[in-house]
Homo-oligomer: A and B are copies of this chain.
Amino acid sequence: MQIDLPRPTEADPAAAGAVQELMGGKFGEMSTLMNYTYQSFNMRGKSKVRPYYDLIANIAAEEFGHIELVANTVNLLLDQTFESANGATPPLNVGMGTGNPDHFLNFGLGTIPGGAAGKAWTGENVFNSGNLKLDLLHNFFLESGARMGKIRVYEMTDNPVAREMIGYLIVRGGVHQEAYAKALGDLSGVDITGLLPVPEISSLNFPHAKKFVDKGYHRFMYRFSPDDYKQLSEIWNGSQVETGEPREVVDGPPEGGEVPDLTPMPALYAPGVNEEDIAEIAQRLGS
């Protein structure tokens, strides 16, 4: 996983509900992942427009790590649900009213492939005209909408696990946003990086984002394949737009954190129950 997340001591279903938007909302990580994946599959003349292909396919690879990161965040935010319920019966009644009852009914307190109001993610969210200029313009818009979404969720919850993750995504999403602006400029001859930041507030103003900027994450493009995506640096070069520091292609993925080992939940039979679990649950159900 790309960063370490703190382990919360309490469940925060409202935060989990809001964070879902960053997974499966129209501007969540499923959308960025799938837009770039389908665009890379369908791109014509890959050999002629190699740097653009490399950019899009490589960012898709990073986005896969982002859905993992959001997933772990949601899981951690719900991991203490039974402990937070503190013996109350019924323990899952917090599940109604969060806008995402599927967390509690069908997903075993895990993340869902959908957004903040429980709307499923849909392939309708993928745009891929085949026209490179238009697709790059779309991607720049998509990342701008995604940046707005992250900021809005940041304003909905101050849960430290959520904000740690959002801070990181603001920085990395900012790189993608800037990369598409740069690529569109290279293709068309019109520099549009001057539009940044969209929305008009620097990532440096978010404390949870600034610490990642301080590590340089705002100017790195990680290359996610040892053998491919070698022409990334034909696009990702020059100076990062806010700090003026040099943009840099880094070979290999970011050093990351541990994937959290989520607590088994006997009461949900997740992953499954043994004899002692059954006895304990039976006692509770009989209350």
CA distance A43 to B43 in the complex (A): 35
Interface size on A, residues (CB 8 A): 119
Stretch at the interface among A3-11, A232-240, A249-257, A263-271: A263-271
Name the CB-closest residue of B to A16: B96
> Which residues of chain B have C-beta atoms less than 8 A from A278's C-beta?
200-202, 205
Whether A45 pairs with B156 at a CB distance below 8 angstroms is no
Whether A95 pairs with B156 at a CB distance below 8 angstroms is yes
- Copies of this chain: 6
CA distance A286 to B208 in the complex (A): 9
CA distance A98 to B110 in the complex (A): 21
Name the CB-closest residue of B to A149: B105
Name the CB-closest residue of B to A282: B205
Residues of chain A in range 76-130 having any CB-CB distance to chain B below 8 Å: 89-93, 95-102, 104-114, 116-124, 126-130
CA distance A130 to B107 in the complex (A): 6
A18 CB–B CB distance under 8 Å: yes
Name the CB-closest residue of B to A158: B90
CA distance A132 to B140 in the complex (A): 16
Whether B75 pairs with A201 at a CB distance below 8 angstroms is no
Name the CB-closest residue of B to A25: B105
A261 CB–B CB distance under 8 Å: yes
CA distance A277 to B41 in the complex (A): 23
Known contacts A106-B129, A117-B102: A123-B122 contact under CB 8 Å: yes
Partner-B contacts on A (CB < 8 A) = 14, 17-18, 21, 24-27, 30, 34, 37-38, 41-49, 52, 67-68, 71-72, 75, 89-93, 95-102, 104-114, 116-124, 126-134, 137-138, 140-141, 144-145, 148-149, 152-158, 184, 187-192, 194-195, 198-202, 205-207, 259, 261-265, 267-273, 278, 281-282, 285-286
Taking A133-B198, A190-B194 as known contacts, 13 extra A-B pairs with beta carbons closer than 8 A to each other, sorted by chain A number, are A21-B105, A34-B113, A41-B72, A44-B108, A46-B261, A48-B271, A92-B156, A93-B156, A96-B98, A130-B265, A134-B148, A141-B141, A205-B281
